[in-house]
Amino acid sequence: MRRLVLITALLAAGAAAILVETRWWQPSPAQSAARGGEVAVPVMTDKARRADVPVFLAGLGTVQAFNSVLIKPRVDGQIVKIRFEEGKDVHAGDILIEIDPAPFEAVLAQAEANKLKDQAQLGNVRHDLARYTDLAKNGAVTAQQLDTTRALAAQTEAIVKADQALIDTAQVQLNYSTIRSPIDGRVGTRLVDAGNIVKASDTTGIVSINQIHPIFVSFALPADSLPQLSAASKTGDVVVTALDRDGRTLATGVLAVIDNQINPATGTINYKAKFENGDDVLWPGQFVNLRIQLAVRRNVIAVPVTAVQQGPDGPYAFVVDGDRIVQKRPLKVGVLNKTIAIIDGGLQAGEQIVTDGQYRIQAGSKVEVAAQTAPPADTGSANSP
């Protein structure tokens, strides 16, 4: 019985030794690849290319009218005619609303009549002053009578000037009964109809006019964007591109306004970009994505952003050599965005890099190129590494 136990123990020890030796001598992936014994891992690749890549900031903006006016009455009265069509373009000086002018015409006529009356009285006083002046030379009238007549003439002249001021005021009121557009723009829906009584104290207004040619897009960025945009604006126009939510370009404009203070509550600063908007693709109140171009980096190494991996020692990429063996290459990344990364060091133009399937390979793995990534259509690069 003891001999049987001993034989069983020796057999078990021998089997364990054989298993350990087998595992010890199992070749590494690099050794297997060198001997051609490893199955190639399918991956997708692309080539590092030299290109001119614009560097930009990204943000979210709100479209707002270049000028916006709420038309309100400046006199009380009844609307007798509306002379604009809702949703149509108007020009500065176009008549929009006519308020019944009859009350204002009556006030103007009364003021003109008062002036005529006072002018007639002024003429009579001036004749008296001329006569008293001649008589005073001969001592026929006293100095007091002459001074009184001279003062009466001055008083009457002042009354005539006051009458003219009343005429001007009445004329202004009459002019206010015809409401004209102060700007070029597009009218919205009217808030009152013909026949309604409007008052100068009304706060709701009659109609709004928005100038949309050109148009503004307002947006906010972190405060650390200020030095970059200030420097870029000093060298020329800063190009701003508006995109829809799917990334399609809507319009291209320029940075027009940098706010004069940073919001301490949010740590952001407000900007405005100006767009000509000739085809009306931007509309007040619309939300758009923005790309603000800071500069263009010329003749740099550009790769798809999916090729850049992050490791404990920093960014790296898998480079495929002529024998389809993978090398792990550390990179110095400049700037990147959702599609493109600028490589400042670690790659040369023309080198083949893995863009998909990195999780299945390591340094020394043998790969099979399943497909090459198509060159990205957008070669823009954001401003953060």
| First-last CA distance in the chain | 74
Q: Model confidence at 380, in pLDDT bands (50, 70, 90)? A: very low
**pLDDT value of position 4:** 52
Residue range(s) in the chain whose domain bears CATH number 1.10.287: 102-176
**pLDDT value of position 374:** 56
The rounded distance, in Å, linking the Cα atoms of 315 and 331 is 6
In the CATH hierarchy, which fold is given to the domain comprising 102-176? Answer: Helix Hairpins (1.10.287)
* 314, 95 Cβ separation under 8 angstroms: no
Residue range(s) in the chain whose domain bears CATH number 2.40.420.20: 34-71+214-385
In the CATH hierarchy, which fold is given to the domain comprising 34-71+214-385? Answer: 2.40.420
Question: What does pLDDT average to over the chain?
Answer: 87
Per residue in 200-214, pLDDT tens? Answer: 999 899 999 999 999
**pLDDT value of position 11:** 59
The rounded distance, in Å, linking the Cα atoms of 271 and 293 is 14
Per residue in 232-266, pLDDT tens? Answer: 999 889 999 999 999 899 999 999 999 999 999 99
Q: DSSP string covering 351-374, please?
A: -EEEEE-GGG--TT-BEEEEEEPP
**pLDDT value of position 123:** 92
Per residue in 30-42, pLDDT tens? Answer: 444 444 456 888 9
Q: In this model, does residue 290 exceed pLDDT 70?
A: yes
The rounded distance, in Å, linking the Cα atoms of 183 and 203 is 20
Q: Model confidence at 143, in pLDDT bands (50, 70, 90)? A: confident
**pLDDT value of position 132:** 82
Backbone angles phi, psi at 141, to 5 degrees: -125, 160
Q: Model confidence at 175, in pLDDT bands (50, 70, 90)? A: very high
Task: Give the dihedral sign, CA 337/338/340/344.
Answer: positive
Q: Report yes or no on whether pTM surpasses 0.85.
A: no
**pLDDT value of position 24:** 40
CATH of domain 73-99+178-205: 2.40.50.100
**pLDDT value of position 139:** 79
Residue range(s) in the chain whose domain bears CATH number 2.40.50.100: 73-99+178-205
For 171-179, what is the mean pLDDT? 96
Question: 301 vs 378, which has greater pLDDT?
Answer: 301
**pLDDT value of position 280:** 93
